[in-house]
Structure 1
Amino acid sequence: MSVSNEPSEILQRKLFYKGRKFDYEVIKLRLPNGVEGDWECIRHPGGALAVPVTPEGKFVLVKQYRFTVKGRLLEFPAGTVEPDEDPAETIKREIEEETGYRAHQWQSLGKFILAPGYSDEYIYAFLARDLEKLAQPPQQDEDEDIEVVLMSGEELEAAIVAGEPIDGKSIASFYMARALLNSEG
């Protein structure tokens, strides 16, 4: 299923903030149904996410401090797609930096819109297998506070059901990967 392209008429556009990772703008629109109004939007270049699975069937996640929620979230490794970069290249870099693993087998799980109520960000999800633990520990970015966590599928699903702090893109990608892995037998 694809997004229907029913264009709105842009009446006015104002850029309020141009940031390092995203921009924030307010757009005065006339919707296809004729309604006019102001809509705020975060313009984001997209993100890439890996669902890494060890040969033993463990999922590799990171527990990362997120200032917006004032705590640590369990997440799959992910990163912002740089200008003119293929999301597959983004995630190959990010998985090594965040987890210390290199994947030798990659498979696209697809893409999805993260938060269409206020952002145009897409997440490009990949299944990462045939993992190799790197000899050197990962060099994390200065603004990252990350701990690597290995979990079985059952442990991760129990954490999701129990309401543990896990971000939505990781939950969605886990179930996408699980469906693919289950279809393979």
Structure 2
Amino acid sequence: MTFGHEPPELIRHRFSYSGRKFGFDVNTLRLPNGAEGDWECIRHPGGALCVPLTPEGELVLVRQYRFAVQGRILEFPAGTVEHSENPEQTIKREIEEETGYRGHTWQKLGQFFLAPGYSDEIIYAFLAKDLEKLPTPPQQDEDEDIETVLMTPRELEAAILNGEQVDAKSISSYMLARPFLNFNAYR
């Protein structure tokens, strides 16, 4: 991602944690404008997400249990970019693992920071079309509780407006994909 890079001055490193999926730093910094203070930052390798569209015009989503919110939320398939992968490899693997579908036509939609107030995580968004349902159901990881859900774009928008819990990366990516969806072609 290209942006104006003005690194802060590190005054004092206070704390670091490195976990399975992300790291966490606490530092005393001097910002480019001269302001000083303590900042916490979640360090993340980035994530890849796709908006999958079936030939029938349905979106493929997952309803996944998320321990942080203690409930199930509606999301598009996504995953953490592994060190040995690029974002496109990540999402092609994740869509199959999470939904049992394979995309045959891929389009980059863009990339964006997920929560730049406290994290450096970037989401790489893709549109996956010409989906094929794989013959064997997906094998979920031990720590996953996922249900595949098919919805039309109109049904997804209604769900969001009616208060169904949908994560921000999915809503943002859907908005990037929306110009490529033909609402008149679908039921």
TM-score by length of 1: 0.95
Q: Over residues 12-52 of structure 1, what are the superposed CA-to-partner deviations in whole Å (9 max), with x where a residue is unaligned?
A: 22443110000011121101111111100000000000100
Which sits farther off after the overlay, 91-100 or 157-166? 157-166
Pair 1:67 & 2:67 matched: yes
One-letter amino acid matched to 1:62: V
Q: Over residues 143-169 of structure 1, what are the superposed CA-to-partner deviations in whole Å (9 max), with x where a residue is unaligned?
A: 000000000000001111122100000
One-letter amino acid matched to 1:89: Q
Query: What is the aligned partner in structure 2 of residue 10 from structure 1?
Result: 10
Distance between the aligned counterparts of 1:94 and 1:167, measured in 2?
Answer: 17
Q: Over residues 43-79 of structure 1, what are the superposed CA-to-partner deviations in whole Å (9 max), with x where a residue is unaligned?
A: 0000000100000110000000001111000000000
Distance between the aligned counterparts of 2:14 and 2:84, measured in 1?
Answer: 24
Unpaired runs of 5+ residues, structure 1, are none
Query: What is the aligned partner in structure 1 of residue 57 from structure 2?
Result: 57
Which runs of structure 1 show a deviation greater than 3 angstroms over 4 or more consecutive aligned residues?
Answer: none
> By how many angstroms is 1:2 displaced?
4.9
Residues 15 and 23, structure 1, Cα contact 8 Å, conserved in 2: no
Which sits farther off after the overlay, 158-167 or 38-47? 158-167
Query: What is the aligned partner in structure 2 of residue 176 from structure 1?
Result: 176
Query: What is the aligned partner in structure 2 of residue 32 from structure 1?
Result: 32
Query: What is the aligned partner in structure 2 of residue 94 from structure 1?
Result: 94
One-letter amino acid matched to 1:103: G
Distance between the aligned counterparts of 1:26 and 1:111, measured in 2?
Answer: 26
Identity across aligned pairs (percent)? 69
Pair 1:111 & 2:116 matched: no
Distance between the aligned counterparts of 2:158 and 2:71, measured in 1?
Answer: 20
One-letter amino acid matched to 1:126: F
Query: What is the aligned partner in structure 2 of residue 165 from structure 1?
Result: 165
Distance between the aligned counterparts of 1:110 and 1:84, measured in 2?
Answer: 21
How many residues are aligned here? 183
Distance between the aligned counterparts of 1:177 and 1:171, measured in 2?
Answer: 10
Does the residue aligned with 1:94 lie in a helix, a strand or coil? helix
Distance between the aligned counterparts of 2:27 and 2:180, measured in 1?
Answer: 39
Distance between the aligned counterparts of 2:177 and 2:43, measured in 1?
Answer: 27
RMSD: 1.5
Residues 30 and 36, structure 1, Cα contact 8 Å, conserved in 2: yes
Does the residue aligned with 1:165 lie in a helix, a strand or coil? coil
Distance between the aligned counterparts of 2:152 and 2:13, measured in 1?
Answer: 47
Unpaired runs of 5+ residues, structure 2, are none
- Map 1:37-52 → 2, pairs under 5 A: 37-52=37-52
Pair 1:78 & 2:69 matched: no
